[in-house]
Every structure is written in C-alpha cells, then in structure tokens.
C-alpha cells in the first residue's frame, strides 16, 4: 500500500509521530511518501518525496483541518482517500488522533473503514477578455475579499449567468457543504449536511439587512465580480490558505469539481455526533440545575 504523508511542522508531536510511522510502516506493508515541507523531520533516510508519479492508495494528514485541506489540494481531484489525524483542538474533518493512530493504521491496511464523498469546488479567474486561469480544487471555500485596509467593497453575484444582485460587504464566501461549518458559518451561513449537493453563497458582514445567505444547486455556476471603483486590492483566498489577486474586469467563477474528495471514516460516529462534540452544538450544560 502506497501512503502519502502530509503534516503540519508547527505541531511539536509531529517529529515523534513520523518516527513511529517510519517504524511501523514496513510491518504493515506500507510504502511511505512525504511532502517536501516535512522531509527533514523524518528519521534519515526518509521516505521519497510525494509527487504526481506516486500512485497513492491513501493519504495521511497529521495536524488539524487545515492540514487535511492542504492534503486535499495536493491530491487535486485524484480521489485518493484521506485519513485525517488530529493533533490540534477541533479537527472537525479528522477521524483519528495521536492516541488512536496505530488502530487507524491497522484499519486502513485491512480496509476496515468507510469513506465519505465530499463535494469539492473548481474555482477559476476569468478576465475581461474571457481568458480563464484555473485555480486549485478546494474542499472548503473560495472567498473574494478586500486586501489591505479593512473596508466594504461592492460585488456583483450571478448564478448560472443570472444576476442575483449587488452586494456591499466585506466579501463573499462560496462554500461547499464541508466549508459550511468553516468561514461561511462564522459569517452567518447555514450548516449544510455533507450529503446535500449544494453550494452556499454567504456575504461577509453585509452592509444591508436585505442580504441573506443563498443555497444553490451543486450544478450551478457561481460568479463573483468586483464592481468599479471597488476593484483595487481585491483578493481571492482558497480554503483560507492560498490566494491570488483580482485585476479590474476579473471575476471569480466557481463550479463543482469533477471528482469529490474522499474522507476516511472509522467507527460509528456520524456527522451530528461530530457537531455536538466538536462544535458544542446544542450544549446546554451551563443551564443545568445545580
């Protein structure tokens, strides 16, 4: 089994976990491949570098949700199952932690796991001449927002070429159901259960009470275009980790990605159980009678 490993070097436990992986992998019949940014943390000689030529059976991400999102972008639609191991606090998308790593690896090798197919987005930037540049596939969201000084901008949103309206806001979040529990939720958007085929459009701090989040079919094409003169220093962020600039006349176009992202799930815990546990959803313990 070929296993890619992506990790967040800011976690102090990472080096010891990599050493443990290097020790147990041969016994489990796993050939490891590492991303370059953590290559120096492995016991030497470390695994070969992860590249497009490596045909992976699974990817392990060691960190938090952000590390899992980066792993998904690294796969870029390959359809390889991702086993998220949480080293942080929330880890809403992950399914194991450092204490259950051996159990998770054993289940992985035996194929004793389920996968969740998560809708992903394929964003692109289209200029005023109709020329398009593709951006990496994202699992959470694509966000148009102002760079530099914090102030509202004016944006035009269209769905399948039909103009929704003009927004005066700090920005627009275009999110998947997976991303509905991230930035979109913080901006007042709804939680969308992962099995729902939909895209969420949420304004960030809209400057009017007449604007509410939209939920559109996953087959829809969502376009976000800055309106002059609010076209200076406009940025697009992808999964909150990487980004690009938008020039005058550019627009963000978001479509459903051709292939979903597959997340490994271990044990019986479902989406709503994770909501209660990770997000303290419906937690009324502070109201219990003493």
Residues serving a catalytic function are: 65
Residue 19 has phi, psi (to 5 degrees) of: -65, -40
Tokens for 47, please give them: 């695994």
CB 141 within 8 A of CB 173: yes
Give the position of tokens 């509202």: 152
Give the position of tokens 């041969």: 26
* Alpha-carbon gap, residue 118 to 256, rounded angstroms: 11
Instruction: Describe the crossing of helices 14-28 and 101-110 by its angle, rounded to 10 degrees.
Output: 30
Tokens for 88, please give them: 């942080």
CB 142 within 8 A of CB 122: no
Per-residue buried b or exposed e for 35-64, using 16+ beta carbons within 10 Å of the residue's own CB: beebeebbeeebbeebeeeeebebbbbbbb
274 contact partners, CB below 8 Å, separation of at least 6: 92
Strand order in the sheet with 171-175: 214-217, 198-204, 171-175, 141-146, 234-238, 242-246
- Judged by DSSP in three states, 16 sits in helix
Residues in the chain: 290
Q: What pairs with residue 104 in β-bridges?
A: none
Q: Are strands 2-7 and 198-204 parallel, antiparallel or unpaired?
A: unpaired
């Amino acid at each position: 089994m070929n296993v890619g490993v992506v990790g967040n070097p800011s976690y102090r436990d990472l080096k010891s976990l990599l050493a443990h992986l290097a020790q147990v992998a041969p016994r489990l019949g796993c050939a490891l491949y590492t991303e370059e940014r953590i290559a120096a943390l492995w016991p030497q000689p470390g695994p070969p570098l992860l590249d497009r030529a490596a045909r992976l059976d699974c990817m392990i991400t060691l960190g938090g949700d952000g590390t899992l999102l980066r792993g998904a972008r690294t796969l870029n639609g390959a359809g390889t199952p991702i086993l998220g191991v949480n080293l942080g606090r929330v880890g809403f998308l992950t399914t194991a932690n450092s204490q259950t790593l051996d159990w998770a690896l054993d289940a992985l090798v035996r194929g004793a796991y389920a996968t969740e197919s998560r809708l992903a987005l394929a964003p692109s930037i289209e200029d005023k001449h109709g020329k398009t540049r593709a951006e990496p596939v994202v699992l959470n969201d694509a966000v148009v927002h102002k760079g530099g000084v914090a102030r509202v901008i004016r944006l035009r949103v269209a769905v399948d070429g039909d103009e929704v309206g003009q927004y005066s806001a700090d920005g627009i979040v275009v999110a998947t159901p997976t991303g509905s529990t991230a930035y979109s939720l913080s901006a007042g958007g709804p939680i969308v259960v992962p099995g729902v085929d939909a895209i969420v459009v949420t304004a960030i701090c809209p400057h009017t009470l007449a604007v509410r989040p939209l939920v559109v079919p996953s087959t829809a094409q969502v376009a976000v275009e800055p309106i002059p003169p609010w076209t200076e220093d406009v940025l697009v962020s992808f999964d909150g980790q990487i980004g690009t600039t938008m020039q005058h006349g550019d627009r963000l176009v978001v479509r459903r990605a051709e292939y979903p992202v597959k997340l490994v799930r271990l044990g019986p815990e479902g989406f709503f159980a994770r909501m209660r546990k990770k997000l303290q959803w419906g937690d009324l313990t502070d109201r219990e009678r003493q």
